[in-house]
Amino acid sequence: MRYSIYILLAFILINTGSSQPFIGGSILAWGDNEFGQCSVPEPNQDFVAMSCGGVHSLGLKSDSTIVCWGNNFNCQCNPPNSLNLDFVKIEGGEENVIVLRNDGYIAGWGRNNAGQCNPIAPLDDYIDFDPGRWHTLGLRPDGTIEAWGSNNWGQCDVPAPNENFIAVAAGYSHSLGLKSDGTIVAWGRNQFGQCTPPVPNEDFIDLECGLSFSIGMKSDSSLVIWGDLTGGVSIVPEPNQGFVAVAGGFHHVVALRADSTVAAWGSNNEGQCNIPEPNEDFVAVACGVMHNLALKADGSIVAWGWNIEGQCNIPEPNQDFIAVGCGEINSMGLKTDGSAVVWGVDQFGQCLVPNSLNQDFVAVSGEGANSMGLKADGSIVVWGDNDFGQRIVPEPNQDFMAGSVGAQHCIALRSDGTIAAWGRNNYGQCNVPAPNQDFVAISAGDFHNLALKSDGFIIAWGDDTYGQCRIPEPNEDFIAVAAGDCNSLGLKYDGSIIAWGLNDVGQCDVPEPNMDFVSMAAGRSHCLGLKADSTVVGWGTNEYGLITVPEPNEDFVAVVAGYIHSMTLRAYTTGLETPSPLIGNLSILTVFPNPMNSSTVVSYASPESSNLRFDVFDIAGRKVRSIQIGTVPEGEHAVIWDGRSDTGEALSSGIYLLHISGDGILSGSRRVVLLR
């Protein structure tokens, strides 16, 4: 939300004292830090872009990976880092999903209010796991247990000695571990005795948890159940033998016998104990709150019981499944290729299986409970909340050149100048005004959007309660946009900022002198502006010191603003070579036409005879064209760029930055819009 991804790399416009593009710096964050949104992870270096969500932060590294920190309630700080392949186990907690890959890598997504989706590193050294309501247990190859998430009843405090474990099980707020000697260790909440294994505590070969009860399977394949026995969960159907697998719900149990039949007992208020016919050929079982899944030998799934969220409606094709799992109101299965399918309640995006690696990103955006990354191939990845489908990027997910996240919606700009919008549409913020064409920049506010046309004209739509969609006249000569919660900013070609919308704390009162701005950011009630001299100016509320820029106020190359925190990117950790002393000012005078279609003429003035080079960079800071101009005398000259790369390829529509340098002198960069 805080600014358009399109202008993320506007800092290249600033003279960093080198003829090379900016390649990385450190982030300075200040303001409220309740969720750690101002605690930049170490090493704080090599960042090339950043974004503020509501109370979380994102940074893009020079190696194209994303780092996130701050509030992680919806896993908005967990960039996807696994393809939907090669999983060997899948299970769910209350509203989250945990998976284990065949190489020992573990991952989680969905609700993360207690950190239950944040496994303990290293993440690639697990052999088993089991999620409880808000906590998760993970088993390592060396027989130790890791526990993470809620610990209000000590359910994550693994008793010493933490060794020789071969299986784990997690309940609502208690935990079990099976030792190699056949004994069970239990810890956590024990109000029903669920942590007191019956005597003799021996000869166990497997274990499972229900809501507040525990299940142990003996070496003779019989079951022992203790704890909260509501619904008669301890009354195992005769014969109590021949069991090979078991699962526990809130107040019922489902178990698989060696003859491939299923038994179910306990509370039956939603029919969860009524096994569908024919009761045969089953190979695995799983249990939710009040529903069950059973896997057939032919790879199909049978589901029965409570179906309030469609958790018993198996997605087609119902075939090729090799494993099943349940959350409280979710169902999940693994296919033969190790891919995961999840269905049922999707409030926290738990039904959207991540399918991306944390690599090849060129831009980031964040807001509310969502994060977004733009890939080098033009695709977009969104993670975090999915209440309104904001993680479901419209097809085709390609050819995007920018994206921006609002409170509960997203917008993205395609290379053909059109905009896609999706998610919540309560104010029409996903209804892009016609004609949907010729756009070159975008920014999403909480419930409104700004978009810049190639002719410097701004279009605004969505919530207009405070006039944030009413652009002041003259609506012309704009080169960038930034949308805050309920206010809007536009950067003019002359370096001035125009602000409009809600102004209750001065967030629309740009400080004088209103000039020399090269970038800007709008938060909830404050704004930041970056000057050409690399200093930052703030206005609006100063709660939490939001607009009090920490000293020294210098060397900044980018700004972003969150709800109640601010961030800037500094250039002094770039590792750039020390430039030769500047001889004088090398100036790009004009770029015409701009926007360009096939070619543009770049006029410039050299302070003295110099050997010059003309470079073109894309919005990701990559050099796409270099032209050796040669030695020119003092005075005004021109160079023509034909819109092509060094390989002769016609470049796609977008923003490009033009640079002239040589013999110890450096021009400022100029922006050109290429429209095909």
pLDDT class of 584 with cuts at 50, 70, 90: low
- Regarding whether 360 and 302 lie in a shared domain, the answer is no
* Residue 82 domain flag: no
Question: Do 561 and 610 belong together in one domain?
Answer: no
Q: What is the mean pLDDT of residues 558-580?
A: 70
Residue type at 45 in one-letter notation: Q
Task: Assess whether 421 and 561 both reside in one domain.
Answer: yes
Could you list the residue range(s) of the whole structural domain that residue 282 is in?
87-344
Whether residues 91 and 72 fall in one domain = no
Task: Classify residue 59: in a domain, yes or no.
Answer: yes
Residue 351 lies inside a defined structural domain of this protein: no
Q: Cα 236 to chain center, whole Å?
A: 45
Whether the CB-CB separation of 653 and 674 falls below 8 Å is answered with: yes
Residues 553 and 606 in one domain: no
Residues 413 and 303 in one domain: no
In a domain, 368, yes or no: yes
Helix (H) or strand (E) holding 165: strand 165-170
Q: Which of 121, 122, 120, 130 is nearest to 89 (CA)?
A: 130
- Mean pLDDT across the chain: 90
- Token couple for 161: 């000695």
What is the per-residue pLDDT across 162-193, written as a single tens digit (0 to 9) for each?
Answer: 999 999 999 999 999 999 999 999 999 999 99
Percent of the chain with pLDDT over 70: 92
> What pLDDT, on a 0 to 100 scale, did the predictor assign at position 43?
93
Q: Which of 307, 324, 344 is the last residue of a domain?
A: 344
- On whether both 63 and 110 belong to a single domain, the answer is no
Under DSSP, is residue 579 helix (H, G, I), strand (E, B) or coil?
Answer: coil
| Alpha carbon distances (Å) from 234 to 161, 219, 223, 240, 259 | 30, 18, 9, 11, 22
Q: How confident is the model at residue 14 (pLDDT cuts 50, 70, 90)?
A: very low
pLDDT tens-digit readout, 119-170 = 999 999 999 999 999 999 999 999 999 999 999 999 999 999 999 999 999 9
Beta bridge partners of 82: 356
Do both 511 and 554 map to the same domain?
A: yes
Residue 181 is encoded by which pair of tokens? 């000697």
Task: Please tell me the predicted confidence (pLDDT) of residue 557.
Answer: 81
Output the pTM of the full model.
0.83
What's the CATH number where 613 sits? 2.60.40.4070
CATH number at residue 244: 2.130.10.30
CB within 8 A of 547, min separation 6: which ones?
526, 528, 538, 539, 540, 541, 566
Q: Which residues contact 197 (CB under 8 A, 6 or more apart)?
A: 183, 184, 186, 214, 216, 226
Domain final residue pick, 537, 570, 603 = 570
CA 385, CA 371: separation in Å to the nearest integer? 9
Side chain identity at residue 240, one-letter code: N
Do 643 and 545 lie in one domain? The reply is no
Look up tokens 């100036």; give the residue.
Answer: 587
Residue 620 lies inside a defined structural domain of this protein: yes
Give me the number of domains the chain comprises: 3
| Order of strands across the sheet that contains 135-139 | 128-131, 135-139, 145-149
Average pLDDT of 470-495? 93
Alpha-carbon distance values, 416 to 9, 377, 420, 624 (Å): 20, 15, 11, 19
The band of 271, judged by pLDDT with boundaries at 50, 70 and 90, is: very high
In contact, 483 and 468? CB cutoff 8 Å: yes
Spatial contact of 400 and 415, defined as CB atoms under 8 Å apart = yes
In whole angstroms, give the CA distance from residue 405 to residue 93.
28
Residue 107's nearest CA partner among 338, 367, 299, 336 is: 338
> Residue 40: inside a domain, yes or no?
yes
What letter represents residue 576's amino acid? L
* Per-residue pLDDT, 670: 76
* 174 and 54 co-located in one domain: no
Same structural domain, 70 and 200: no
262-284 b/e (C-beta count within 10 Å ≥ 16 → b):
bbbbbbbebbbbebeeebeebbb
**Contact between 176 and 136 (Cβ < 8 Å):** no
What pLDDT is stored for residue 605 in this prediction? 86
> Do 334 and 187 fall within a single domain?
yes
Mean pLDDT of 427-442: 96
Strands of 204-209's sheet in order across = 204-209, 213-218, 223-227
647 vs 496, higher pLDDT: 496
Task: Look at residue 307 and tell me whether its pLDDT is greater than 50.
Answer: yes
pLDDT in tens, 75-99: 999 999 999 999 999 999 999 999 9
Could you tell me which of 316, 317, 268 has the C-alpha nearest to residue 292?
268
pLDDT at 651: 83
Q: What is the pLDDT of residue 388?
A: 94
| 46 falls within a domain | yes
Task: Look at residue 421 and tell me if it is in a domain.
Answer: yes
